[in-house]
Amino acid sequence: MSYPAAIFRRVVAVCATVAMTATGWAAPATAVAVSIAPAPLQYVALGDSYAAGLGSAPTSDKCGRTSVAYPALLARQADGKVAFRNAACSSAATADVIRQAGTLTARTGLVTITAGANDLGFRQVLAACANAATAAACRRGNLALDRRLKTLPRDLNRMIRAVVTAAPDARVVVTGYPLPFAKAKSCPSVPLSAKVRARANQVVTSLNSAIAAAATRNRVRFVDVDKEFAGHALCSTRPWLVGTSGLRDNTVLHPTATGHARGYLPVVAGSGLADRA
């Protein structure tokens, strides 16, 4: 039995006591055990293109959702014990996730969220910094990134509170993002200087710290994927992120199918879901 199946297993036992009374004498009570098939766990995935699975497999879905994204993998390995819906959508920011929370109900038992990067405009700044001709736009973009990082905690708090309010009995798990670049002096496959790559990693580290702090503040679970992706960022020999080939379809920096299966899935599945309230 795979570990997600163990996570989602729930067994319901109902004991009924049958009493018979005759001419004033009470007959012995009999305990009857009745096995009832448990209702599937209601699982909803929220977030951006990382939660949708953009870049992990070809898809015609308008939100970029795929069957090999980590939420789909988690649900599929639960041996039919999960009723799954992926409400995530590419380009979603925290405000969009608040709207996605409209898919939650009081019966929702599990929610996963990957969101926050689109609030920063991170990839747009990287694109500007990749070209010397747009150096001024790169500088302006970095200043804007710093400003957005200061307001991001407020937006993350609003997002998580909206989710917890919509699904008060659910276990909520919020994920971070992998660092995009390995610490390499040279990286011929990526047209970014070492300085820009280091700045990108710094921004993602700050983003993950803000997400973790918001999760702690709202008493939900945060999972860090950095260790799983270590050695598999861009500029490594075996990257689990889409490289420059993804510039054509906007999938660059997104996890590949392997990134979802070996980077995200193990830490989300092992994040204490078995002891959810």
Across the chain, where does the E strand assignment appear?
A: 12-18, 21-22, 25-26, 30-36, 41-47, 82-86, 108-114, 171-175, 221-223
Q: How many CB atoms lie within 10 A of CB 257?
A: 17
Helix (H, G, I), strand (E, B) or coil at 211: helix
What is the set of active-site residues? Answer: 49, 254
DSSP state, residue 166: H
SS3 (DSSP) at 137: helix
What residue has token string 């710094």? 202
Tokens representing 174? 């919020």
| Nearest partner of 52 among 105, 19, 15, 96, judged by Cα | 96
The distance from CA 124 to its chain's CA centroid, rounded to whole angstroms, is 22
Tell me how far apart the alpha carbons of residues 54 and 52 are, in angstroms, rounded to a whole number: 6
By three-state DSSP, how is residue 164 classified?
Answer: helix
CA dihedral of residues 191, 192, 194, 199 (deg, nearest 10): -160
What whole-number distance in Å separates Cα of residue 129 and Cα of residue 135? 6
Give me the residues paired with residue 112 across strands: 45, 173
The residue among 88, 106, 105, 109 whose CA lies nearest residue 8 is 109
